[in-house]
Amino acid sequence: MVKNSEINLSAIARDLKKAASDAVVIGVGQGADGPVLLENPLTAKSAEALAESLKVLGITGAADQAVRLPGLPEAGNGVVVLAGVGKVSAGQKLTREALRRAAGSAVRQLAGLTTVTLAFPTADVGDVAAVAEGAALGAYSFTEYRSSKDGLKDPVRNAVIFTDLAGDKDLEPALKRAALLGKAVNATRSLVNEPPSHLYPESFADAAKELAKGLPVKVTVWDEKRLEKEGFGGIMGVGKGSSRQPRLVKVEYAPAKATRKIALVGKGITFDTGGISIKPALGMGDMKSDMAGAAVVLNTVLTLAGLGLPVKATAWLCIAENMPSGAASRPADVLTMFGGKTVEVLNTDAEGRLVMADGIVAASQEYPDAIIDVATLTGAQLIALGNRTAGVMGADSVTGPLKAAADRAGELVWPMPLPEELRPSLDSQVADLANIGERHGGMMTAAVFLREFVGKGKDGQPIPWAHIDIAGPSFNNGAPYGYTPKQGTGCTVRTLVAYAEDLLAGA
C-alpha cells in the first residue's frame, strides 16, 4: 500500500565536474544590507560576479526562494540554483534547521530532475546530516491515485552533498540515519494521505505488517473478536458503528542488548465523522488524517529497529473508524475500558481519547520506562498553538527531554500544563469519568483524561508519561514550505527518534 520514493544520499569533497548532476544548489542569505552569497565551491571570480548580481536578479535570500540560473563551467552541469536560507548574521553559522529547510525546499522545488548537488556551508558532520535529512524529506510526492502522470514530476532521486567532510568516518552512519528518517517520515505522510476508501482498520494493520518486513520487529494484531473478548471497550465502542471493524496493532522491537524500554501509543482513527455527534460537512475530508498518531509511532519503532538502537520500543496502534449507524455508540452510553474503568460517552466526537485509553492501559501492563502517546486529539490544540506547533503535556521527566529532542530534530513543540482544577470537570454522574469536560483549555482537559489511564510501574509509582497533540502540525492545508509538502507532514517521527537516542545517551 505504501509506496515511497527513496532518495540516494552521497557526498563529495572536491571537483564538482566529477559528480555529474542536473543542478548545483548554492545558498543565499538575507543579510542586514541585502542578499549574501554563502560559502560555495565556485571559483573566486565566478562567486564575486554572482554576488554582485543578486539584487539585479531579484534574489533576496528569503526562505523557500529558489532561482534557477544558467550553469557555470566549473559547476559541470546545466543549472545553478540559488536557494534562500533566510536571515543570516555576520560571524554566525547557519542553524541546522535552516540548512535542513533550505535543502528540503530546494529538492522539493527541483522535482523533475534526477540528480542534484547541494553545496551549502557545512562546518561539521551534524551540518552535513541536516542537509541530507532535508533532501530526504523534500524528495516526496503522493500520486498513487492519479490515472495519468502527465504534468506530474517525479521527486529528485539522488542528492550529492558537497562538503570538505566527505571523507569523515562519521559521515556514512549520519547519511544512513538521514535516509532512514526520510523513509519513515515519508511513509507516515503516505499513510496519512491515503483515502479512507483504501485505508481502514484492517488495511492499516496490513500496511503495518508490510512496512515491518525485513526488520527485527514482531507485529501482533487484535481483530474485533479478540478485542471484544479481552475487554478493549474503548476501541470497540468507537469502532462498532462502522462496517469496517477496529484493530489494535502491537509493533515490538526488542533487541537483546536493550538498556531502556519505551512504549508509544498512537491514535489511529482512519476516518472520523464524529459518530452520532456528527461533525459539520465543511472540512470533514481532512479527517482521513485522524490516524496520524498511529502512523507516527509505527514508523518511529521501525526506524529505531532500522538503526539497531539498544532500546526496547513498542508501538500500540489503536485503530478504528468512527461512523454513525444503528450500531454506533450513543451519547450517554457507558463503556468499560480495558483494565476495568468505566467512561460515560457524552460526545461521540471525543473518540480519540477512548481508543487511546485502551492503548495506554495495555502499554502500562508491560512496565516501560516511559509511555508517550501521540494523537490528533483536539481542535483546541490549533486554537492554542496554531498549525505548526504540537502541544506536549505530562510528567516533567518526559516532557522536558521531548522538548529538547524536538529542538534538536527541528520540530516545533511547546510544553503545556495540566491544571488540577480540570479533573473535576470530567466527573460523571453514572461512571468513573466522562469523556469530555471543561471546554476552555480543551487540549489540556483531554490530556487529563488520558492521564487517568496511565498505570503504575513495578515501584508502585505512576509510569512517566507524556501526551503529544499533533492535530495542527500533522496535516498541512496551506502551501508547501521548506521540506514540508501539502497534506500529511510526517511530524513527530524525528522528535521521537531523537528522544530515544537522547535517552540512551543519558543512560
Look up 68 and say whether it is catalytic. Answer: no
β-pair type (370-375, 465-469): parallel
The CA-CA-CA angle for residues 290, 474, 470, to 5°, reads 80
- Angle (nearest 5°) at CA 245 between 240 and 246: 90
How many Å from the N-terminal Cα to the C-terminal Cα in the chain? 38
Q: What's the CA gap between 112 and 259, in Å, rounded?
A: 44
Point out the catalytic residue in the list 96, 183, 250, 353.
Answer: 353
Residue 323 CA to residue 345 CA, distance in Å, equals 15
DSSP string, 27-49: EEEEETTEEEEPS-SS-HHHHHH
For residues 1 and 147, the answer to whether their CB atoms sit within 8 Å is no
Catalytic residue among 87, 279, 403, 451: 279
Residue 233 has phi, psi (to 5 degrees) of -70, -25
- Compute the half-sphere exposure of residue 451: CA atoms within 13 Å on the CB side of its CA: 20
Q: Give the C-alpha separation, 266 to 277, whole Å.
A: 23
Could you tell me whether strands 465-469 and 390-394 are parallel, antiparallel, or unpaired per DSSP bridges?
antiparallel
Interatomic CA distance for residues 204 and 225, integer angstroms: 17
Indicate if 209 belongs to the active site.
Answer: no
Q: What are phi and psi of 236, to 5 degrees?
A: -65, -40
DSSP state for residue 461 in the 8-state scheme: S
User: DSSP readout, 268-325?
Assistant: EEEEE--TTSPPPSTTGGGGGGTTHHHHHHHHHHHHHHHHT-SEEEEEEEEEEEE--S
Polymer length of the chain: 507
Residue 139, φ and ψ in degrees, nearest 5: -90, 70
Kind and range of the H or E run holding 236? helix 233-239
DSSP class of residue 259 equals: -
* List of residues 6+ apart from 445 with CB closer than 8 A: 380, 422, 425, 426, 436, 437, 438, 439
Under DSSP, the state recorded for 111 is: B
Q: Which residues contact 14 (CB under 8 A, 6 or more apart)?
A: none
Known catalytic residues are 279, 353
